[in-house]
Amino acid sequence: MLQGKVAIVTGGTRGIGYEIVHKFLENKAKVILFGTRRETVEKAVTTLKEENPSFEVMGLYPNLNREEELRAAFEEVIRKYGKIDILVNNAGVSSKTPFTEYTSEEYDKIMDINVRAVYMCSRAIVDYMKERGGVILNTSSFVSIYGQPSGVMYPASKYAVNGMTKSLARELGKYGIRVNAVAPGIIETDMVRALPKEMIDPLVATIPLGRIGRVEDIANAFLFLASDLASYITGIVLPVDGAAMN
């Protein structure tokens, strides 16, 4: 589905991001995964290459809030592959801190990673996509719609991602750039798997499909939106949550 495409995935070393990278590689894309540390980036790339030596994957670790580092990373990709077709803004950080215990430092950290980095990466890559079009995909969350009982800035930041997604779709459509987001529900990540059964069962009870989502469910949604099958879809925030809380 992505034969010949070149994709960048931020936050691609673990969890949903890693599964997106894996799914894109399976569908013949050339993938550059971004991570925060050299060690985790190199480990992810090595693991993928060991699984399938034919995977065309490389890793970089720019600071997503520094324009000069981002542009240097994008230019390295352009030199190697000649283009960038897809950007997945997946890097993010969650929060469960009660509102009365929030600090300005935590506020800044969440907004820098969840909002500013999406803006910075998108702003930097548009210059490369203007000539030939492209796809920008953002990771949102179902809590951007429903909220959550603590950690207020996480849903607030994802709400901002939704607004950026819809607005950029309108603004960048004239360049042939599609912009969409995927809003995962409760997903079976390492953190969720570590929860005790008495915490998991009530969560499952809120989901009409009767199960927690898998990272592959989310990666499949990204694959579809990145592919030409979604060539007339832009400006959507796609819930992948089993109708939880609907």
Tell me the CA distances in angstroms from 6 to 52, 139, 151, 232, one per residue in order.
18, 19, 35, 20
Alpha helices in 15-99 (DSSP H): 15-26, 38-51, 67-81
Residues 6+ apart with CB under 8 A from 231: 178
Alpha helices in the chain (DSSP H): 15-26, 38-51, 67-81, 104-111, 117-129, 143-146, 153-172, 190-193, 197-205, 215-226
Whether 233 contacts 178, CB under 8 Å: yes
Residue 119 catalytic? no
From first to last of its 246 residues, the chain has per-residue pLDDT tens of 999 999 999 999 999 999 999 999 999 999 999 999 999 999 999 999 999 999 999 999 999 999 999 999 999 999 999 999 999 999 999 888 999 999 999 999 999 999 999 999 999 999 999 999 999 999 999 999 888 888 999 999 999 999 999 999 999 999 999 999 999 999 988 767 766 778 678 888 889 999 999 999 999 999 999 999 999 999 999 999 999 865
Q: Does the domain formed by 6-240 have CATH 3.30.750.24?
A: no
What are the boundaries of each domain within the chain? Answer: 6-240
Beta bridge partners of 104: none
Residues 6+ apart with CB under 8 A from 59: 12, 13, 32, 33, 34, 35, 41, 42, 44, 45
SS3 197: helix
Among 18, 61, 128, 154, the one annotated catalytic: 154
